[in-house]
Structure 1
Amino acid sequence: MLITIAILLISAVFFVNGKVRSDLVALCALILLLIFHILTPGEALSGFSNSVVIMMIGLFVVGGAIFQTGLAKMASSKLMKLAGASELKLIILVITVTSVIGAFVSNTGTVALMLPIVVSLAHGAQTSPSRLLMPLAFASSMGGMMTLIGTPPNLVIQNVLTEAGFKPLSFFSFLPVGIICVLTGMIVLIPLSKIFLSKKGESKNKKGSKGKSLNELVKEYQLDSNLFRIKINENSLLINKTITELNIQKKYGINILEIRRIKAPQTQFLQTINQHLADPDIVLRAGDILYLTGDFDRIERFAENYYLEMMDSHETEELNDRGQKALDFYDIGIAEIVLMPSSKLINQMIKDSGFREKYNVNVLAIRRKREYILKDIKDEKMHNGDVLLVQGNWNNIARLSGEDSEWVVLGQPLAEAARVTLDYKAPIAAFIMLLMIVMMVFDFIPVAPVTSVMIAAILMVLTGCIRNVEAAYKTINWESVVLIAAMLPMSLAMEKTGASDYLSNTLVNGLGSYGPMALLAGVYFTTSLLTMFISNTAAAVLLAPIAMQSAIQIGVSPYPFMFAVTVGASMCFASPFSTPPNALVMPAGQYTFMDYVKVGLPLQFIMGIVMIFMLPLLFPF
């Protein structure tokens, strides 16, 4: 028992110190429990197969898809209209919305769903995400107190009460307690977050933004100023012809930037737009949309000669298009490369460069000092120091980085690609997210919450709401996953060695003679203290039977004591690993362990004082 407590205390010291990564500290603690034979290998590794950990991994993927499809940005823009640019209104709005969702969805699920939305919201309001993410995590736990299914400790006390023969709690028995928690949290968090949650995330982001964004490149090279769209109709002469056969560049002096092809038009909800480069061998079909650059008169003549339809700026080819002609970068991207002095391409013409044959990319323009060459570039010779604007699918653009002796790729095109939202997939992502929430909320659907999340994560990948499996893996924050998985067996160690029983019995039973109010305070703060080191569910399981027996022994109603256990277990904010939501926001908010202590500990203490006085009023002794 003493060894377990010593390992727990040493881990806490390192967590507070913050000089060693939190996941490494948790793994070292786990190894020590194995070395001292406190846990078996199976018990020590049980955290990595725990449903909470698996759910976290799935929710990272779901959250990544919500962000990737632009659904987060859409939701945040609607919330922005309510809050404006006021940071105070933003915090109130985030806490309110998160609390309402958290009443019906697990706090882990709530945070994972809201996280990308809140980050997008913060960027839109030009405020630091760190100001909003910790209130988000805390609000999810506070909202969980509103209903029976909001958080696992609520179900634990329900089970203890019914087994002891007491009247079970109803679905909304928790609502008054939850409302008090949310209001208390809001009042305390507004000043604390402003004082202690610094804007350190902003400077990092600014320093890290190297190179030009895709929109900046489009504006600089004026790609959208002479961009036109033409649709191939059923009677067009282009059908079944290749780009090579048409020889459009030579005949009309215009360029085809890309071809868009709509898949499954009969099912608008699942409608998908495929982007294709103007490959010489691609066979054109009816319904294809050509993106062209060049003089309007030449493009108009080309359209008339081949019976093509000129599309105006308000005619859209996709369900949620922005209603204007625009270059999108779902599959195809652009990047700048600067030629090296030793490059073999110097003094070669663009048409002889081999970009198309070797790398399957097109050269759209040349920037030579302050001059931009956009027309008839195929016969242009390349000079030392020329910057070429190239276009291709993202994988081929990535291959260009391997030719360091010939050129240097400017900026971080793949990082820019990751920021491109697949906005035409947003309805699918919204449907999958709604399906996940429905499966988690309604008991008559025989699917476990972790299964719901796994189904949603797989569907996000299969439907293309996230680019590929590799992109899905990149959305997962493995530090948070390992931290929670390695700390979960700590509660098992404390239970096996009797450390948790010893601590709880000593603290709670010693206060019984001082009256129900003192005992209630002892139950609450003992639970709150234990939850800082073990999971809230484990703390509720350990203390609920003790609190029940203590209440019966002094002859008072057990209900306020049961609520003291569940609120004390759920309202733990002073540690990043006490609840999954606290851990989820840690990397995104760039928080340290001490940030949780500065903001969470005062909130946790104030919440306890309020509850000790309010619970006897709501549930008399």
Structure 2
Amino acid sequence: MLITLIILVLAAIFFMNGKIRSDLVALCALILLLVFQILTPEEALSGFSNPIVIMMIGLFVVGGAIFQTGLAKMISNKMLKLAGKSELRLFILLMAVTSAIGAFVSNTGTVALLLPIAVSLAASFHMNPSRLLMPIAFASSMGGMMTLIGTPPNLVIQNTLTEAGFQPLEFFSFLPVGLICVGVGTLVLIPLSKYFLSKTGTKEKQRGYKNKSLNDLAAEYQLGDHLFRMHVAPHSPLIGKTAAEADIRNRYDLNILEIRRITVPQSRFFKTISQRTAPNTVLLPDDLLYVMGDFDKVQHFAETYRLELLDTHMPEERSAINRNSLDFYDIGIAEIVLMPTSGLINRTIGESGFRDKYHVNILGIRRKREYILNNLKGEKMHSGDVLLVQGSWNAIGHLSQENSDWVVLGQPLNEAAKVTLDYKAPLAGVIMLLMIMAMVFDFIPIAPVTAIMIAAVLMVLTGCFRNVEAAYKTINWESIVLIAAMLPMSMALEKTGVSEYISNSLVSGLGVYGPIVLLAGIYFTTSLLTMFISNTATAVLLAPIALQSAIQIGTSPYPFLFAVTVGASMCFASPFSTPPNALVMPAGQYTFMDYIKVGLPLQILIGIVMILTLPLLFPF
């Protein structure tokens, strides 16, 4: 027992200190429990197979897909209209929406779904996301108090009551308690989050080259001013030929930036166009060509091959995406600077072999303050020239490996990751709704963890991510390891008798002072234990003790059992007390002390309010 307490205290000290990563502290605590044989290897590693941990992994992927497809941005735009220009209204609206969803969906799932939306909202308001992320984690737990299924401790006390022969609780018996928690929590978090969280996190210092967005590059090189769209008519001589066979670049001094092709007509949920850049792509009827060059040459090319030159302001009615500018779904642009030792110096663009060797086009040259955009084929390259290249993202990625002749500026692949695949937003929305339905409705015979795993895999298989690697990158392994390593701590506390000793000692010593004092003792004992072990385990441990304590002093057990479930659920002073707290920790760049500064006052205030109101809602 003593060794377990020492390990727990040391872990808490290092968590609060913050100089060592929280996941590493959790792993060290787990190893010590193994070394001292308090836990067996099977027990120590059980956290990594716990359904909560698997759910968190799946929800990271689902949340990433919601962000990647632009669905988060669409939902946040709707909320922005309701919020207007008021940060306060936005904060209250987000708290209300999170609480409402949390009443029916697991708090972990609620936060994972709303996290990308909150980040988008913060960006729109030019706020630090940390101002919103911790509050929505807390709001999801508060909302869970409003229904029987909102949080596992509610089901625990329901089971305790029915087994003891008392009248079971109804689905919305928890609603008054939940509404009070949400109301008090929102009022308290408005000043606390503004004072303690607005400045949390540090911005990365810009060093050297400032990374330009893809739209910045397109605007800088005026790509839109020289971009024309052509429709390949059914009787065009180009049909059946490739761009290379037509020798368009040499004969007309034009660049075909991309070929757009309908792949699944009239489909809302699957990708309806493909972007192709390869010069050996065989042209088909109804293809759309994006061509860059002088208008006179473009017009001559269109007349020669009987192509329909589309006005740049005309929507692409044949395409699933109505835009008159470049899209960067499958293809992109980047800048490379030529090194003084490059073998390309004094060679022309035509001689460089960029298209044949690296499968990219050169769209322009930036030489000091001059931009060269036309007649590039015969232009000689100089040391220090910055070339704007265009091709598939894989091809641009390969350019980064060739660092002898040039250096790729910025982080183009990171910029590519920011491009939302908005044509997939309806599909991502359907998958998300089906996942929520499976988690909410009992008649669907699928466990919540199974529903989340299915949703995560579907997001990948249906192309809501650019590739599988992008899906893996959405998982924050620090949070996963933190929760998985700390879950066995509750097993160690129960196994060594620490939990039972603390709860029995505190509760039995307060019974003689009356029901209010006993209620306070049960509440804060539960609240204290939940900081170190899971809220479900705490509720299972203390629910029967609270029941017997109430029976012994001759009062109704209902307020005491509600004290257990509220105390177990309203734990905000620790990042690992609940999965939502851990889920927002990396995204908000929070430290352990941030939870102490914001969560501890909130936890204490809600406790005081509950001790005063529970006897009014459920009389002794």
User: Residues 408 and 267 from structure 1, CA distance in 2 versus in 1: closer, same or farther, beyond 3 angstroms?
Assistant: same
Question: 2:264 touches 2:273 (CA, 8 Å); kept in 1?
Answer: no
> How high is the TM-score relative to the length of structure 2?
0.97
Aligned partner of 2:379 in structure 1 is: 380
Inter-CA distance 156–319: structure 2 relative to 1 (3 Å threshold):
farther
Gaps of 5+ in 2: none
SS in 1 for 2:384: coil
Q: Is the 8 A contact 1:68 1:422 kept in 2?
A: yes
Residue in 2 that maps onto 1:128: 128
Q: CA deviation at 1:300?
A: 3.5
Q: Distance between the aligned counterparts of 1:570 and 1:208, measured in 2?
A: 47
Partner of 1:515: 514
Give the Å deviation of 1:241: 1.2
Partner of 2:575, secondary structure, is coil
Shift of 1:320: 6.6
SS of equivalent residue, structure 1 residue 430: helix
Query: Does structure 1 retain, via aligned residues, the 8 Å contact 2:573–2:598?
Result: yes
Letter in 2 for 1:193: S
CA distance in 2, matches of 1:59, 1:36: 35
Q: Which residue of 2 aligns with 1:326?
A: 325
User: Structure 1 runs of 4+ off > 4 angstroms?
Assistant: 205-209, 317-320
Whole-Å separation in 2 of the counterparts to 1:49 and 1:371: 59
Output one character per residue of 1:443-478: Cα deviation in whole Å (capped at 9) or x when no partner. 100101111110011001101101111111111110
- The residue number in structure 2 matching 1:29 is 29
The letter for the 1-side match of 2:39 is: L
Between the aligned partners of 2:316 and 2:508, the Cα distance in structure 1 is: 71
| C-alpha RMSD over aligned residues | 1.6
Q: Distance in 2 between matches of 1:177 and 1:150?
A: 12
Distance 1:345 1:574 in 2: 60
The aligned counterpart of 1:150 is 150
Question: What residue identity is the alignment partner of 1:66?
Answer: I
What code does the residue aligned with 1:130 have? S
Q: Closer, same or farther in 2 for the Cα pair 1:419/1:180, shift >3 Å? A: same
Mapped contact 2:522–2:546 kept (Cα < 8 A): yes
> 2: distance between equivalents of 1:3 and 1:134?
33
Residue of structure 2 equivalent to 1:413: 412
Query: Aligned ranges for residues 427-466 of structure 1 at < 5 Å?
Result: 427-466=426-465
Give the C-alpha shift of residue 354 in structure 1: 1.6
Residues 200-238 of structure 1, C-alpha deviation per residue, up to 9 Å, x if partnerless?
A: 436337779932111110000000122121222333332
Q: CA deviation at 1:266?
A: 4.3
One-letter identity of the residue aligned with 2:7: I
Aligned 1:337-348 pairs, distance under 5 A: 337-348=336-347
TM-fit CA distance, 1:319: 7.3
Cα distance in 1 for partners of 2:178, 2:235 equals 65
State the match for 1:470 in structure 2: 469
Q: Counterpart of 1:51?
A: 51
Aligned match of 1:256 = 256
Secondary structure at 2:204 match in 1? helix
Letter in 2 for 1:614: T
Counterpart residue identity of residue 123, structure 2: H
In structure 1, what is the Cα distance between the partners aligned to 2:330 and 2:44? 44
Gap change, CA 1:594 and 1:115, over 3 Å in 2: same
Q: Aligned pair 1:577/2:601, yes or no? A: no
The correspondence of residues 179-578 of structure 1 with structure 2, limited to 5 A, is 179-201=179-201, 203-204=203-204, 210-277=210-277, 279-312=278-311, 313-316=313-316, 321=321, 323-578=322-577
Question: Would you say the 8 A contact 1:104–1:441 is kept in 2?
Answer: yes
Matched to 2:130, the amino acid is S
Q: In 2, distance between residues paired with 1:207 and 1:152?
A: 48
Counterpart of 2:308 in 1: which secondary structure?
Answer: strand
Alpha-carbon shift at residue 429 of structure 1 (Å): 0.8
2: CA distance, partners of 1:435 / 1:261? 31
Show CA shifts across 1:563-620 (max 9, x none): 1111100000000000000001111111100000000000000000000111111111
Contact 2:4 2:496 in 1 (8 A): yes
> 2:68, 2:420 within 8 Å by CA — same for their partners in 1?
yes
* One-letter code aligned to 1:381: K
Gaps of 5+ in 1: none
Distance 1:205 1:573, change over 3 A: farther
In structure 2, distance between residues paired with 1:92 and 1:17 = 32
Q: Which amino acid counterpart does residue 394 of structure 2 have in structure 1?
A: N
- Residues 293 and 385 (structure 1), Cα distance of their counterparts in 2 relative to 1, 3 Å cut: same
1:2 aligns to 2:17 (yes or no) = no
CA distance in 2, matches of 1:19, 1:209: 31
| Residue equivalent to 2:617 | 618
User: How far did residue 255 of structure 1 move?
Assistant: 2.1
1:266-293 Cα offsets, whole Å, 9 max, x none, are 433223322111x221101122111112
- 217-226 or 204-213, which moves further after superposition? 204-213
For 1:287 and 1:436, the matched residues in 2 are separated by 38
Alpha-carbon distance, 1:296 to partner: 3.2
AA in 1 matched with 2:185: G
Normalized against structure 1, the TM-score is what?
Answer: 0.97
Could you tell me which amino acid in structure 2 is paired with residue 378 of structure 1?
K
Matched residue type, 2:415: E
Shift of 1:398: 1.3
CA contact (8 A) 1:320 1:423 kept: no
Amino acid at match of 1:495: E
* Structure 1 residues 55-70: aligned runs within 5 Å: 55-70=55-70
Helix, strand or coil for the counterpart of 1:533? coil
- How far 1:318 moved relative to its partner? 7.7
| Alpha carbons 1:11, 1:25 under 8 Å: kept | yes
- What amino acid sits opposite 2:44 in the alignment? A
What is the count of residue pairs matched by the alignment? 619
Deviates more, 1:242-251 or 1:427-436: 242-251
Q: CA deviation at 1:513?
A: 1.3
Task: Work out the CA distance in 1 between the residues paired with 2:248 and 2:317.
Answer: 23
1:88 corresponding residue in structure 2: 88
For 1:241, give the aligned amino acid.
Answer: K
CA–CA separation in structure 2 for the residues paired with 1:206 and 1:535: 41
Q: Deviations over 1:280-323 (max 9, x none)?
A: 211011221111122334434433443333334242358773x4
